[in-house]
Structure 1
Amino acid sequence: MLSRRKKKMKVARVDTILGRNSVIEGDLCFSGGMHLEGTIHGNISADDQDEEALLVINQGAVIKGDVKVPRVVISGSVEGDVHASARVELSSGARVTGNVYYTLIEMAMGAEVNGSLLHQSKEALRLEHLKVPGQSQGAQQTPRAGEAEKPASEASSGNTHS
């Protein structure tokens, strides 16, 4: 008998809870873990230094704005773009009207995305910092066709030795 072991999402502590009857008008920034059961009319983002931040949008919760967090679990409704730098989990009750930008995604049957799913590769981010061959700092210019390359001592002083 084979068993599948699912890699579980690292559990963040819950620092913020917005209850079912709560409504926020405006943007919200949090760190750590946040559970949302109410409504937010504005953008939600995680503190830039908190790569472990987790937003859980429970069933019945509504966000009318963009979401920018490392990790998000959606069971409610989002009307706006979702940007997750690490992971997106869409449960069967999830409703997203907007684009979903993700690195890893898990989507249950019944989840709804009215927009595009756009994969953001971490590899592309790492490759940006690599040097391009032939374009290093202080690179010497290559000689033009028909010109001979001068030794460094002659090129800098302009004198020729006999």
Structure 2
Amino acid sequence: MGLFNREAPHRTADKAAINSIIGRGLSIVGDLSFSGKLKLDGTIKGNVKGEYLVIGKTGGVTGDVDAETCICQGKVRGNIKSKDLTVVKGCRIEGNVETVNLAVESGASLVGEVKVDDKDLRLIKTGSVSEEQLPEIASNG
């Protein structure tokens, strides 16, 4: 499901194109800067800055993330700044998000403020819900 973007692209990690992997069980303490594509299945306690970041289901960041593209399946406790951000089912973000394109799947958790660059933002018309389609409200009597 797309939120705030013109279309609802479903971005997935292209495993063949990932340059580096921080494996499950590996923990890094300190800031990390990288170029290319990084898959994070371990944990980082520090800020992360790079081009294309995939935070896997077992991955986590305690610190701020600044990436051109970020696909989050794991956990982030910190702020995220990313041009293209996809928050996948099972992901948990505790921090503020600043983005241009945001896609949030049902079942993802985002606790914080979301700021979307709205200069290119357009509303997508969806079907309206008639009163007949609304669930009944149970009476207390």
With normalisation by structure 1, the TM-score equals 0.64
CA contact (8 A) 1:35 1:57 kept: yes
Matched, 1:71 2:69: yes
CA RMSD of aligned residues (A): 2.1
Percent of residue pairs bearing the same amino acid type: 31
5+ residue gaps in structure 2? 1-6, 121-141
Matched, 1:22 2:19: no
Q: Secondary structure at the match of 1:103?
A: strand
Deviations 1:25-64, CA, capped at 9 Å, x for gaps: 0000011100000010000001xxxxxx210001121100
Query: Match for 1:43 among 47, 51, 59?
Result: 47
5+ residue gaps in structure 1? 47-52, 124-162
CA contact (8 A) 2:23 2:40 kept: yes
Match of 1:55 in 2: 53
Q: Which amino acid aligns with 2:64?
A: D
Match of 1:105 in 2: 102
- Partner Cα separation in structure 1 for residue 106 and residue 11 of structure 2: 19
- Considering only CA atoms, is the larger Rg found in Structure 1 or Structure 2? 1
- Partner Cα separation in structure 2 for residue 118 and residue 98 of structure 1: 12
Deviations 1:59-90, CA, capped at 9 Å, x for gaps: 12110000001100001000000000x21000
Runs of 4+ with deviation above 6 angstroms:
none
